[in-house]
Amino acid sequence: MNGLGNSSIEVIEKINRRIRACDYLVVAQLFLKDNFLLERELEFSDIKPRLLGHWGTCHGINVAYANLKAFFKNDPNFSFVLGPGHGFPALQANLYIDGDLEKVDKNATKNYSGLKYLCKNFSWPDGFPSHASPFTPGIITEGGELGYALANAYGVALGHPEKTIAVLIGDGELETATALASLNLKNLLSGSQNGKVIPILHLNGYKISAPSIYARKSERELNELIRGFGFDPILIDGDEPEKFQIALENESKNPFFILKTEKGATGPNRYQFSHQIPLKNVKTDEKELRILEKWLNSYNIKEIIKHLCLEI
């Protein structure tokens, strides 16, 4: 079916389960201060008093993270650089699931108490910030300003031929002069003394409220632009982990992934393009509360928990 053989069908299922779990954990971090696994009907008192964070970019981050993790596993020579630091709840969900967060924060245990700690403390006084920050494992700078992810990735590759660095760049981010100019670093750093950088453009179509320029280009125009910088464009739909895995296996010399998702994908339809938080009135509006409950239930988290080695 996918040209990868039977064992890889399991890998694909594992990737999809992980994406669903991380999407759930993102929504739980953004909204919930109690009832984290929907043990009972959702109530207004379960909702955080102040909703602060970004939902729109998170599903795509989870897709990229799950696919890269499935392929590179725990390879110490592999690094992942995340451009949209505002998609922090997605990064945090992945760090939690892999046990990386627990290594630096003993409260982030892989059981119900750790899950509660993770979700409750996102965007919470004295808890975790809403953006990636130096408190996050593997992060040394405060997130926020777009544009530097690709240059940082080439910096990691410099003088380290053994390294491979995948870098997720927002389509809004690639409109910044810094990010666009950084595409030229390939010409400086493609020698045998440096590592390999795999740019992944997250083409979710929108910036904050307007479409990105790259989403307005035809597929052909976008491919030609990428080719013009010396890369081989590889278009992947976010729902195609098979294609993502095959493209990673095929090892093009100068790959440039274009990961296409819809901004806010897997969220409630009416709000799918939301950059920050959809359902702003969920703490007081019964209709929105029920939409959130349906949204959380759509991930079937209880069914996938056992696969995540969570002791819940």
Residues 25-44 that bind ligand TPP (CB under 6 A): none
Q: Which of 147, 199, 255, 278 binds ligand TPP (CB under 6 A)?
A: 147
**Which stretch of DSSP H or E encloses residue 196?**
strand 196-203
Query: CA-CA distance, 118 to 127, in Å (whole number)?
Result: 9
Which CB, 252 or 272, lies closer to ligand TPP?
272
The contacts of residue 35 (CB under 8 Å, 6+ apart) are 42, 43, 46
Which CB, 136 or 204, lies closer to ligand TPP?
204
196-203 and 232-237 strand pairing: unpaired
Contact status, residue 86 vs residue 57, Cβ threshold 8 Å: yes
Contact status, residue 289 vs residue 64, Cβ threshold 8 Å: no
Contact status, residue 18 vs residue 97, Cβ threshold 8 Å: yes
Q: Is 56 in the site for ligand TPP (CB under 6 A)?
A: yes
Residue 145: CB minimum distance to ligand TPP, A: 4
Q: Is 172 in the site for ligand TPP (CB under 6 A)?
A: yes
Q: Is 255 in the site for ligand TPP (CB under 6 A)?
A: no
Which CB, 229 or 273, lies closer to ligand TPP?
273
Stretch that binds ligand TPP, among 19-27, 105-113, 203-211, 231-239 (CB under 6 A): 203-211
Q: Is 204 in the site for ligand TPP (CB under 6 A)?
A: yes
Stretch that binds ligand TPP, among 2-10, 17-25, 30-38, 169-177 (CB under 6 A): 169-177
Which CB, 97 or 150, lies closer to ligand TPP?
150
Query: CA-CA distance, 65 to 143, in Å (whole number)?
Result: 18
Q: Is 23 in the site for ligand TPP (CB under 6 A)?
A: no
Q: What is the DSSP code (8-state) at residue 128?
A: B
The burial of 14, by beta-carbon neighbours within 10 Å (0-12 exposed, 13-18 middle, 19 or more buried), is given as middle
Residue 150: CB minimum distance to ligand TPP, A: 12
Q: Is 57 in the site for ligand TPP (CB under 6 A)?
A: yes
Size of the site for ligand TPP (CB under 6 A): 21
- Which residue, among 268, 272, 258, 262, has the nearest Cα to 289 in the 3D structure? 268
Q: Is 84 in the site for ligand TPP (CB under 6 A)?
A: yes
Q: Which two tokens stand for residue 110?
A: 């892989």
Q: Is 109 in the site for ligand TPP (CB under 6 A)?
A: no
- Residue 290 CA, distance from chain mean position: 26
Contact status, residue 84 vs residue 171, Cβ threshold 8 Å: no
- Residues in contact with ligand TPP by CB under 6 A are 56-57, 84, 86, 144-147, 170-173, 176, 202, 204, 206-208, 212, 263, 275
